[in-house]
Amino acid sequence: MKGEERMRREPHPLLRGGRTEKSYDHGLSSYELISLASICEAFIPPIPLDSLHVNDGKYDPPNKSLEYFFLSSGSDDSVPDEVAERMVKACLPEAVFLVRWTLRFLSTRLGTLFLCGFICLGGDFPFIKKYSDMSLENREKVLQKWSKEKELRIFRVVFVMLKILCLFTFFSRTDKNMHNPAWDAIGYHVDRDENSSTPKKDRPLEKGIIETIHESDSTLVKSLSQKGVSVINDPNKNFYRIECDVVIVGSGSGGGVAAAVLAASGKKVVVLEKGNYFVPEDYSSLEGPSMNQLYESSGMLATGDAKCTIIAGSTVGGGSAVNWPQRKTYEGGIITSLHKVVSKESGVQAIIETPALGPAGFVALFPWVSGYDMKERLVKYARTVHLFALVRDQGSGEVMKECKIRYRLNDRDKENLRTGLRQALRILIAAGAVEVGTHRNDGQRLKCKGIKEKELEEFLDRVTAHGGPMSKGENWNIYASAHQMGSCRMGATEEEGAVDENGESWEVESLFVCDGSLLPSAVGINPMITIQSTAYCLSKKIAESCTN
Catalytic residues: 483
Q: Distance between alpha carbon 346 and the CA centroid of its chain, in Å?
A: 30
Q: Is 450 left (phi over 0), alpha (psi -120 to 50) or beta?
A: left
Residues forming a β-bridge with 396: 408
| Residue 256, φ and ψ in degrees, nearest 5 | -65, -45
Give the Cα separation of 348 and 216 in Å (integer): 53
| Residue numbering of the annotated binding site for FAD | 244-259
- How far apart CA 49 and CA 53 sit, in angstroms, is 9
At 286, the amino acid letter reads L
Q: 468: how many CB neighbours lie within 10 A of its CB?
A: 21
Burial 248-281 (b: 16+ CB within 10 A, else e): bebbbbbbbbbbebbbebebebbbebebbbbbee
Q: Which is nearest to 424 in space by CA: 358, 331, 354, 480?
A: 354
**What span, in angstroms and rounded, lies between the C-alpha atoms of 73 and 382?**
21
Which residue positions form the known binding site? 244-259
For the four alpha carbons of 209, 214, 217 and 222, in that order, the dihedral sign comes to: negative
Rg (CA), the chain: 26
Segments in 265-381 forming alpha helices (H): 287-294, 319-323, 359-365, 371-379
